[in-house]
Amino acid sequence: MLGPAGLWLGLLLVIPTLLILDISLVPGLRPGEPAAGYGLDNYLQILQPVYLRVIARSLYFAAGTTSICLLLGFPVAYWLALKAPRRWRNLLLVAFVLPLWTSSLLRAYAWISILRPTGLLNLVLAHLGLPTQAWLHTTAAVFIGLSYSFLPYMVLILYASLEKLDTRLLEAAADLGATPLQGFWQVTVPQTLAGIAAGCLLVFITSVGDFVVPTLLGGASSMNIARLIYNQFLGPTRNWGFGSALSMVMILAVSVAIALLLRYGDRSSVSET
């Protein structure tokens, strides 16, 4: 029964990952050149300050995007799961995730038309008598684009978790004198902790490796690890060994994060409830 799935994973996941690992151990490998031996030079190159700044910027974008999506997504998911009329709930959920049906590239170009100097945002600010500014090719533009792209994923995961919330516990907490804020932190959050962790992990992983939004909305000053890997393989640098080393670091980091979630996420949820 596991044969077809194992074959699929072996061909499309295990073998390509092993090939990337093999290339990452060849110092300075470029297309068309023979391997000159194996070593850890590519991994040691990652420790240079210029590349550490790129990695730090990628983590900064991912952490900020995750925080924004959680702060915006939790109230929306809470309202959809517990407050919205039941007959409209599925329709509202579909309407909220409707942008995911379009290409991420098209959505990024749409934000370019909104954030450019003569775009919709500055026109609205000027009409309201507020000062306009350059939004495009800034850090704020990157956060706007990433949050817009990944907010539906956060809402979907939180909605699935909040839909299972036992509201009787909130009523019992209120009967015992708990304020709404106390009920939220001591009842709602513990029951949905696994969903919060899963949503944050999904948004963090996808945003840290996003290529389209930082490239189109952030400009040259928003170099992240995805664009750095792209430059090593398809850009002027053409250093496949270093690009493969960066890819292996990302694969390892994502694997560790998923393993921690699978090990501790459900356990913490069960212990709290």
What are the b/e assignments for 10-27, b being 16+ CB within 10 Å? eeeeeeeeeebeebbbbb
CB atoms within 10 A of CB 201: 18
Please indicate, yes or no, if residue 135 is contained in any of the structural domains. no
What pLDDT, on the 0 to 100 scale, is given for residue 264? Answer: 58
Q: How many structural domains does the chain have? A: 1
Structure tokens at 38: 């194996």
Residue 272 has pLDDT above 50, yes or no: no
CATH number at residue 77: 1.10.3720.10
Please indicate, yes or no, if residue 107 is contained in any of the structural domains. no
Domain that holds residue 169: 37-100+150-272
Please indicate, yes or no, if residue 266 is contained in any of the structural domains. yes
Helix then strand count (H, E) for the chain reads 16, 0
| Residue 271 banded pLDDT, cuts 50, 70, 90 | very low
Residue 34 has pLDDT above 80, yes or no: no
- Asked if residue 162 lies in contact with residue 77, where contact means CB atoms within 8 angstroms, the answer is yes
- What is the mean pLDDT of the segment spanning 227-233? 91
Please indicate, yes or no, if residue 73 is contained in any of the structural domains. yes
| Residue 176 banded pLDDT, cuts 50, 70, 90 | confident
Mean pLDDT of the chain: 87
Render pLDDT for 102-153 as a digit per residue (tens, 0 to 9).
888 899 999 999 999 888 898 998 988 888 888 888 999 999 999 999 999 9
- Asked if residue 223 lies in contact with residue 54, where contact means CB atoms within 8 angstroms, the answer is yes
Please indicate, yes or no, if residue 22 is contained in any of the structural domains. no
Structure tokens at 270: 């069960």
What pLDDT, on the 0 to 100 scale, is given for residue 88? Answer: 85
Radius of gyration of the chain from its Cα atoms, rounded to whole angstroms: 23
Please indicate, yes or no, if residue 11 is contained in any of the structural domains. no
| Residue 52 banded pLDDT, cuts 50, 70, 90 | very high
Give residues with Cβ within 8 angstroms of 39, minimum separation 6: 25, 26, 27
Please indicate, yes or no, if residue 129 is contained in any of the structural domains. no
Residue 230 CA to residue 243 CA, distance in Å, equals 8
| Residue 60 banded pLDDT, cuts 50, 70, 90 | very high
- What is the mean pLDDT of the segment spanning 232-260? 88
Residue 224 has pLDDT above 50, yes or no: yes
- Asked if residue 141 lies in contact with residue 217, where contact means CB atoms within 8 angstroms, the answer is yes
pTM score, whole prediction: 0.86
| Residue 265 banded pLDDT, cuts 50, 70, 90 | low
- Asked if residue 205 lies in contact with residue 215, where contact means CB atoms within 8 angstroms, the answer is no
Residue 63 has pLDDT above 90, yes or no: yes
Render pLDDT for 83-101 as a digit per residue (tens, 0 to 9).
888 888 888 888 888 888 8
Please indicate, yes or no, if residue 12 is contained in any of the structural domains. no
| Residue 266 banded pLDDT, cuts 50, 70, 90 | low
What pLDDT, on the 0 to 100 scale, is given for residue 235? Answer: 83
